[in-house]
Amino acid sequence: MEKEQYRSVIRSLFLDEKSRSEIKERLDAVYGDSSPSMATVKNWFNEFQRGRTSVFDEPRPSAPKTATTECNVTKFHDLILADRRLKVREIAETVGISKDRVGHTLHEILGMRKLLPRWVPRLVTSVNKRNRETTSEQCLTLFKRNPKKFLRRFVTIDETWIHWYTPETKEQGVE
């Protein structure tokens, strides 16, 4: 049974001028172990006594989500690119928001993870893809203007990771 349905029963019994304990006894008799607790019965009895008529939850105010703005995401990314050994606590202190939000932004939005003492991108993120797309479009425009001049100046780079040393323990990889 939904909680609103229990509240409706409590309200109905309240309107029949039953006491809190009588309402609890009736709920236990009908619903057994699945009936609401005495604390819940007391809470809703008091609410109805104060004049409340609705059995539905009222919208709760929540804090605006300002920590994961585009500006903060860019700040985090710039800080990590400048020093990949930063700790979440240090980033939180620098930007002035909670460690939880910094961790969420790094892991979920930027797709980074801590590999030994450094932050590394997990996969190519949407930001990386957008940057690559923009760069490719600019290169294509330059190529269409003058192909010979463009090819003479164009340099490509292969993004290959070469592991020349694999530490056996975390302590060896700290350096």
Compare 1 and 35 and report the one with higher pLDDT.
35
- Residue 167 in any domain: the answer is no
| Residues paired with 121 in a beta bridge | 112
Number of domains in the chain: 3
- Residue 13 in any domain: the answer is yes
- Residue 164 in any domain: the answer is no
CA distance 111 to 122: 5
Whether residues 151 and 133 share a domain: the answer is yes
Whether residues 109 and 141 share a domain: the answer is no
Whether residues 151 and 110 share a domain: the answer is no
Are 117 and 167 in contact by the 8 Å Cβ rule? The answer is: no
CATH number at residue 40: 1.10.10.1450
Segment 122-173, tens digit of pLDDT: 666 677 778 888 888 888 898 898 888 877 776 666 555 555 555 566 665 5
Reading the block at residue 111, the tokens are 């797709």
User: Which structural domain, as residue segments, surrounds residue 31?
Assistant: 3-49
DSSP-assigned letter for residue 107: I
CATH number at residue 97: 1.10.10
The pTM for the full model equals 0.38
Model confidence at 33, in pLDDT bands (50, 70, 90)?
A: confident
